[in-house]
């Protein structure tokens, strides 16, 4: 592409992010769609040079049909929905968003952790059922309450989100263990062996990307290695955990509880074993840990900056 005024920008999922999107500061044509279905991708992208995508799948078979494509601006940190190998092979720049959720996701993690460790949902359910009103004294102790202070947090994934969770955890007086990659025989300085984290942690929080190495990293065997009262938190990607095994773990008491913000398929139109869990030791939120108003605006501002940097010939935040 010889001149910037030839750029055609297509935003495929504008409704997936709330806030003000500042259009890039160079001549361009622009079109946005609230959402885009798989069958709508080809006609909507046929003339695009820059594509903005959040969660829609962009596989190599489709990308190969887009001769004008020069950049994929991913409106998220996760990149597993984009065929990055194809982009690298064919010279298409792909950039993602970084650091925008360093406060909001860690706060969500701590909120889930505190609610589960203190059994807030179980006590709330009891009050709604009239148990406090009928109690023989001023309180009752039917569910164990665990402090964060003095507890051990195991973190898998030492990016900005994992670091953010660790900072908050340490402020509460938690001991933090940084987990080594699964299957690694050599443990790096400052890390703890994968299996040791499973055994020692009172709370485990996942902050890994989803790829071939991490898919299914927590399954039946790993859940059975955890403490019986341990809590598993996942605000990263659903595919990191075997959801059927987790459902069994919660029903049969292998672990103390779990707080999830993600599922393998979203939205879960075809069901999911975790949707059937109706227990106060399991909290499921609809992939909103990232979505504070401030974080979403930061994301949109960085998205515009990524596109402008590419147009200047200085692409940043590259993943391909």
User: Active-site positions?
Assistant: 237, 266, 287
The CA-atom distances, in angstroms, between 308 and each of 80, 259, 303 are 23, 38, 9
Q: Which residues of 87-126 are buried (b: 16+ CB within 10 A; e: fewer)?
A: beeeebbbbbbbebbbbbbbbbbbbbbbbbbbbbbbbeeb
Residue whose token pair is 């403490």: 227
User: Which residues, in sequence order, are bridge partners of residue 11?
Assistant: 32, 52
The C-alpha angle 205, 117, 139, rounded to 5 degrees, equals: 170
CB atoms within 10 A of CB 185: 6
The CA-atom distances, in angstroms, between 246 and each of 132, 183, 195 are 31, 21, 17
């Amino acid at each position: 592409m010889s001149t910037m005024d030839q750029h055609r920008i297509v935003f495929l999922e504008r409704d997936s992010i709330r806030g003000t999107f500042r259009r890039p500061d160079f001549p361009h044509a622009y079109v946005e769609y609230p959402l885009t279905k798989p069958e709508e991708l080809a006609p909507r992208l046929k003339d695009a040079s820059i594509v903005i995508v959040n969660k829609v799948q962009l596989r190599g078979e489709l990308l190969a049909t887009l001769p004008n494509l020069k950049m994929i601006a991913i409106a998220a940190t996760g990149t597993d929905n984009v065929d990055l190998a194809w982009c690298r092979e064919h010279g298409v720049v792909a950039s993602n968003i970084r650091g925008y959720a360093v406060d909001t996701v860690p706060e969500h993690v701590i909120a889930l952790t505190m609610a589960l460790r203190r059994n807030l949902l179980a006590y709330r359910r009891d009050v709604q059922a009239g148990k406090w009103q009928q109690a023989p004294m001023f309180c009752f102790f039917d569910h164990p309450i665990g402090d964060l202070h003095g507890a051990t947090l195991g973190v898998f994934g030492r990016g900005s989100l994992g670091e953010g969770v660790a900072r908050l955890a340490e402020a509460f007086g938690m001991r933090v263990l940084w987990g080594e990659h699964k299957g690694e025989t050599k443990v790096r300085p400052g890390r703890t062996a994968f299996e040791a984290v499973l055994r020692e942690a009172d709370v485990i929080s996942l902050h890994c990307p989803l790829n071939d190495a991490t898919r299914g990293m927590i399954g039946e065997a790993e859940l059975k290695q955890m403490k019986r009262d341990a809590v598993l938190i996942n605000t990263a990607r659903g595919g990191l955990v075997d959801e059927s095994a987790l459902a069994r773990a919660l029903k049969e008491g292998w672990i103390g509880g779990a707080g999830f913000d993600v599922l393998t398929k979203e939205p879960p139109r075809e069901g999911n074993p975790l949707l059937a869990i109706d227990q106060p030791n399991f909290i499921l939120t609809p992939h909103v840990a990232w979505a504070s108003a401030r974080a979403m605006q930061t994301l949109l501002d960085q998205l515009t900056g990524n596109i402008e940097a590419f147009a200047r010939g200085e692409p940043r935040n590259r993943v391909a």
